[in-house]
Amino acid sequence: MKFLHDTPYISAFVRAEFLHNHEAGAGKFYEATVFGFRAEPARVPCFQVMLAAGAQWARVPIHALCSKACAPLSVELSCWWDCYGYNAQVHEFAFLKNHRVEALGRDKTVRKGRYLFTIDWVKDGWSETPDQHKNHHVIALDDGPWIAYPNNRLLWTDPSWIKPELEAWKSPTESYTAE
């Protein structure tokens, strides 16, 4: 079982209230570097960070992270799905690196941002079910918050060749095998 993973090193900020048990710190931010991910079933994606002040924190939830000081985004708008299990892999797709993306939230609001990296799942019930498997693409929104959204909630943009167009896509419901 592998539940701790390196991520690309990314400068970020952590909302201070998450480092004070929500008893203090609202509206303050700590400069940090995100360097790891922890996969834990039935919990939002959580990250390992090193604060500029020298403290290292584990299990920092995605809605505590931002790329600049900003208004908070609820946990339900920060992540569509909890972690599927303990077995995950973090990967930064070279093709998607710094790609612009539009993310459709549960509140039907489209938020724009930039791709950071992807978390994918293996060896759990959901990731092995064809129409239920979802990546968590970690995105830094333009206004600051970080989110983790699946493929079917993202529309990628690249002015050089992608012309965004929505269609009623449907995920396959079967697995393909030659035997």
**How many other CB atoms are found less than 10 A from the CB of residue 141?**
20
Q: Helix or strand or coil: residue 76? A: helix
The neighbouring-strand residues paired with 92 are none
Share of the chain above pLDDT 90, in %: 69
Helical residues (DSSP H) of the chain, grouped into ranges = 75-78
DSSP state, residue 152: G
| Residue spans per domain, the chain | 4-69+77-157
- CA-to-CA distance for 99 and 109, rounded, in angstroms? 20
**How many other CB atoms are found less than 10 A from the CB of residue 47?**
25
- CA-to-CA distance for 134 and 131, rounded, in angstroms? 9
Share of the chain above pLDDT 70, in %: 84
pLDDT (tens digit, 9 = 90+) per residue, 125-177? 666 666 666 789 999 999 999 999 998 899 998 777 766 666 666 666 665 65
Q: Which residues contact 167 (CB under 8 A, 6 or more apart)?
A: none
pTM (predicted TM-score): 0.88
110-121 and 65-66 beta bridge pairing: unpaired
Q: What is the pLDDT of residue 53?
A: 94
